[in-house]
């Protein structure tokens, strides 16, 4: 007679055998995953599962999305999307930015399962994602050709805007309380820091 713990271990082992080992995941494996409510990214053949977002994180994402979407729609500039929606930076590198913008002239980058490289990406920092957003994703987005990258810090109530210059991000604006965020890629867009980071 099997004990409950033994059965659970056996079932867990069987489930694990259905998936590739770390470092060997492909895009086909990634897109064959069952639907979940979690973000899942693919990097270096490994699945990356970011932590659940906090209330403060989601409040900032919602406020920023509303302003970007309103501006882009009013000027018929393209499309603004929220995670979870995969973005394929290059073969085998799939991220899920908090917010991203694809210009109308790049409608060919819109896909049903995933989108191609955006013009603008916004990542809202959390204690668990701060290092990845400032290091790995910082270089990945630049390598992929994302022309503008926003790093939003709800704890410090700051927004940093980076523009791609000859393949490298250059800080073009660091905004705090009482200031208004401006974009190079979306000329005319103005986002008061106090309205999105409360």
Q: Model's pTM, two decimal places?
A: 0.80
Q: What is the pLDDT of residue 34?
A: 64
The string of pLDDT tens digits covering residues 138-152 is: 999 999 999 999 999
SS3 of residue 10 by DSSP: helix
Does position 105 have pLDDT exceeding 60, yes or no? yes
d(CA 23, CA 125): 26
Environment class of 21 (CB within 10 Å of its CB; exposed 0-12, middle 13-18, buried 19+): exposed
Q: What is the pLDDT of residue 162?
A: 98
Domain spans of the chain?
4-48, 55-196
**55-196 carries CATH number 3.90.1570.10:** yes
The string of pLDDT tens digits covering residues 68-96 is: 999 999 999 999 999 989 999 999 898 99
Give Cα 168 to chain centroid, integer Å: 19
The string of pLDDT tens digits covering residues 35-70 is: 655 567 777 777 777 777 888 999 999 999 999 999
């Amino acid at each position: 007679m099997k004990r409950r713990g033994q059965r659970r271990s056996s079932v867990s082992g069987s489930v694990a055998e259905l998936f590739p080992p770390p470092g060997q995941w492909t895009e086909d494996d990634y897109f064959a995953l069952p639907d979940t409510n979690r973000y899942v990214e693919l990097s270096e053949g490994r699945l990356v599962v970011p932590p659940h977002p906090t209330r403060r994180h989601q409040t900032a994402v919602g406020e920023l999305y509303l302003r970007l979407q309103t501006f882009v729609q009013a000027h018929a500039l393209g499309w603004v999307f929220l995670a979870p929606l995969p973005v394929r930076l290059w073969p085998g590198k799939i991220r899920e930015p908090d917010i991203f913008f694809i210009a109308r002239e790049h409608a060919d980058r819109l896909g049903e399962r995933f989108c191609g490289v955006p013009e603008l990406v916004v990542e809202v920092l959390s204690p668990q994602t701060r290092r990845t957003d400032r290091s790995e994703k910082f270089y990945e987005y630049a390598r992929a050709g994302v022309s503008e990258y926003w790093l939003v810090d709800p704890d410090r109530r700051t927004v940093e805007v980076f523009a791609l210059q000859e393949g490298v991000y250059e800080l073009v604006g660091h905004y705090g309380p009482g200031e208004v965020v401006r974009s190079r890629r979306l000329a005319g867009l103005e986002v008061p820091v106090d309205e999105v980071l409360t």
